[in-house]
Structure 1
């Protein structure tokens, strides 16, 4: 560095200091990873509870986990606003005499992202099976989903839901 404004001895000292200094951590361990893992476990458990009620046609338990002002966006069924719309769909599905529908989470697909001061964004993939007359099940659809969970005074509730990319298996 011929035209450097710093004397050679200063450049040498800075170089030695840089080489001998311990590397700075890329991030500080402030407990964030542990909190994120705990949140992911909590959302996983909520997802399992929510869809156990869906699969069992326990409409009241299923609806207890959605916010009164839920917004549900479905790339095939359109837009549904409010818990009442979800209730109509669930009761029709469970009492219409149509073949039973079962949802199954695609293992390893669930991701949870914290929303500080609010809750979490959950995304993943799931499969839907229909029960045949002989009692067997048939995979009918695979889709992706996003749920926005809010941790409010009434507990965890889904406030927004997106179900999209529905495709045949």
Structure 2
């Protein structure tokens, strides 16, 4: 019985392993990450990002607290896009992103995306300077064959070295 439990646990972990970087799911998550961060955060075009968020979206930040969808978008407008003299950017750390599929009865219903990113600031034409680092974990849900961002955890924020 003990060995059967170990074998079952082993195969359960194998089924929940992260997907390969060239898999369709990984590439979809990478593209969605780009919409949230490259388009939304870096270019301050928040409409595509807002469209990806579920109505009950929640953002958990280890410094800023908890925000719902409206609060998250308002904070992005004010804190990230609100000062035209300061250009904030986020870059995904190459090789840090992992994607884990979530299935029920062999049916894909969601994915966990996690990774690490760095933040940069360019003020008044100065050189782009790395200012920070953080980790993130996001829960994406498949709703009517469309990926929607439902929960995001942003944590382990540190100043750049």
User: Structure 1 stretches (4+) deviating beyond 6 angstroms?
Assistant: none
| Residue equivalent to 1:47 | 33
Partner residue, 2:75: 89
Distance in 2 (CA, whole Å) between partners of 1:52 and 1:154 is 23
- Give the secondary-structure state (helix, strand or coil) at the position aligned to 1:85: helix
Q: Supply the distance in 2 between the matched residues of 1:160 and 1:118 (Cα, whole angstroms).
A: 14
Asked whether the equivalents of residues 85 and 124 of structure 2 are also in contact (C-alpha less than 8 Å), the reply is: no
> Are 2:60 and 2:152, in contact at CA under 8 Å, matched by a contact in 1?
yes
Q: TM-score, normalised by structure 2?
A: 0.78
- SS, match of residue 100 in structure 1: strand
Distance 1:154 1:112 in 2: 18
- CA–CA distance in structure 1, aligned partners of residues 24 and 118 of structure 2: 25
Deviations along 1:42-83, one digit per CA (max 9) or x if unpaired, are 1111112221112100011221111111110000111112x2
Shift in CA distance, 148/106, structure 1 to aligned 2, threshold 3 Å: same
Give the structure with higher Rg (CA): 1
Q: Is 1:63–1:86's contact at 8 Å kept on the other side of the alignment?
A: no
| Cα distance between partner residues in 2 of 1:42 and 1:97 | 31
**SS of equivalent residue, structure 1 residue 48:** helix
Distance in 1 (CA, whole Å) between partners of 2:149 and 2:56 is 9
Unaligned regions of 5+ residues in structure 1, if any?
Answer: 1-25
CA distance, structure 2, for counterparts of residue 37 and residue 154 of structure 1: 18
What aligned pairs does 1:6-155 form with structure 2 within 5 A after superposition? 37-53=23-39, 54-81=41-68, 83-93=69-79, 94-97=81-84, 99-116=86-103, 117-153=108-144, 155=146
Instruction: Return the structure number with greater strand share.
Output: 2
The structure-2 alpha-carbon separation of the partners of 1:98 and 1:159, relative to structure 1 and needing over 3 Å to count, comes to farther
Structure 1 residues 137-168: Cα deviation after superposition (integer angstroms, max 9, x where no partner) = 11010100001001102721110000000111
The structure showing larger relative contact order (alpha-carbon pairs under 8 Å, at least 6 residues apart) is: 2
Partner deviation per Cα, 1:71-107 (whole Å, 9 max, x = no partner)? 10000111112x2111111111313446121010000
What's the counterpart of residue 159 of structure 2?
168
